[in-house]
Amino acid sequence: MSEKLNQLKEILGEVTDLRNAGAVLGWDQQTYMPQGGSEARGHQLGTLGKLAQIKFTSDEVGQLLEDLRAEFAGVDPGTDDDAAMLRVVSRDFEKARRVPPEFVVEVAMVSTRAFEAWMEARQKSDFSIFRPHLEKVVELTQRYISFFPPADHPYDTLLDDYEPGMKTADVQAIFDNMRPKQVKLLKQIAAAKQVKDGFLYGKYNEKKMDAFSVEIATKFGYDWTRGRQDRAPHPFCTTFSVNDVRITTRFEKENPTAMLFSTMHETGHALYELGCKQEFDRTPLMGGTSLAIHESQSRMWENLVGRSFAFWEHFYPQFKKLFPAQLDGVSLRTFYKAINKVEPSFIRVNADEATYNMHIMLRLELEIGMVDGSMQVKDLPEIWNDRMNAYLGVTPPNDAQGVLQDMHWAGGSIGYFSTYALGNIVSAQLWEKINKDLPNLDDEIRKGKFDSLLEWLRSKVHVHGRKYDPQDLVKKVTGSKIDSAAYVRYLTKKYSEIYGL
């Protein structure tokens, strides 16, 4: 290894340390920090973010990158990890150097205050509490876009941060192709005999549900010596190193089993991070290559595994023993249909697979509207409710179940939501390939065994970290770029069987 490459890796390790320290503070903010600590936490996050930004965008890093690009000219980044790191770092550097360190501090302060305001607003179901903070977030987002050269659409700049190489027009084309097929399926389901699921909403013991969720995460392969689970207002997964990846969950009295599927979802994210090559730790290659690929992992474990009939053939007897009164007289088939019931609902994270993408399409439209100025923050609750009614036929009864349900805007994460639906699509593409490579997968799941599945994901997806761009990774693994056909096939087959279509 050249001396200059060593120098670069040392600096990048320090930058990663600063960012991961900020991630620890962010995790604490959402789990244990007292409400009164928010202002100080904003300063702390701002300081760490500023130091990381200054160190990363220094002239020294720029010169090292220039020298090393010449040194590695002709080396294939698809096969050489160091060449891949240079490609990724060069791209990150060119973007980061456009953003002033002072702006990083301002974003940290504004988003910290916004998160606290969002929690209060959601608790009181009062958008007016959050509105001024969201207006400031949108203003900062528009300023951020201004740091970059004009794109085909201003939203492209934001989307590229979460889904490298993807354009707004690409996402809209994928959604436009998929939407009529999902709407057709939803209409067919609505006309069919409806599934009974009232038993899912009774009183379930929280500790028992938590213990069962932990057992499932363990069976999936979550390494508790390198992770932990805590409670948060909105479940998330966060990474401090390849050997410290944490998840959170929440218990909803009105929807108790949501805790179980939330843990499955976040475990999927964590398995991706924990499966990254150890040598990538403290480098920019550590972590998922994009949020769509990340969501493909979480949605796969939550839905394609966790809501499958084979899965519950193994786990339902145990689950029924834990909750005998609630599930008295409920057969495995009835339970399976209930956890897959299709019914338009207010809350995205609890939405069934057939309606979930409609939630995402709504949010994408609102984000684009906020960014290009065609929608004003003050009008969001009304626009939200109108489009929920138009897309799903339901109108949220209050702000908490409507425009305030997600934390992402409070954290400044505008440009993020489309990756959830893209993740659904990728999960089905991967699933078709997995089942070709592992023809006995259903039998293994039926036995409560997930080793082969996890090993396949580790070797094909997780180990690469950010080495490949998302579209390239999907094509490398499945032979096709991101395409909704597999997901439509999956939904149609699954729900035709459940609803007798």
Letter string b/e over residues 381-408, b meaning 16 or more CB atoms within 10 A of that residue's CB:
bebbbebbeebbeeebeebbbbbbbbbb
Q: How far apart are CA 356 and CA 346, in angstroms?
A: 10
Of 249, 217, 247, 246, give the one whose Cα is nearest residue 234: 249
Largest CA distance in the chain: 70
Say if CB 299 and CB 268 are below 8 A apart: yes
Q: Is 455 helix (H, G, I), strand (E, B) or coil?
A: helix
Q: How many CB atoms lie within 10 A of CB 98?
A: 14
Of 96, 95, 77, give the one whose Cα is nearest residue 87: 77
Residue 353 designated active-site? no
Provide the terminal-to-terminal Cα distance of the chain, rounded to the nearest Å.
61
**Where does residue 411 rank: exposed (0-12), middle (13-18), buried (19+ CB within 10 A)?**
buried
Q: Where do we find the tokens 């697979």?
A: 353
**106, 116, 163, 266: the active-site residue:** 266
Residues contacting residue 33 through CB under 8 Å, at least 6 positions apart: 41
Of 267, 185, 181, 163, give the one whose Cα is nearest residue 482: 163
> Order of strands across the sheet with 244-249?
229-231, 244-249, 237-241
- 3-state DSSP: the chain helix, strand, coil percent, rounded to 5? 65, 5, 30
Q: Which amino acid is at 89?
A: V
Q: How far apart are CA 271 and CA 386, in angstroms?
A: 38
- Active-site positions read 266
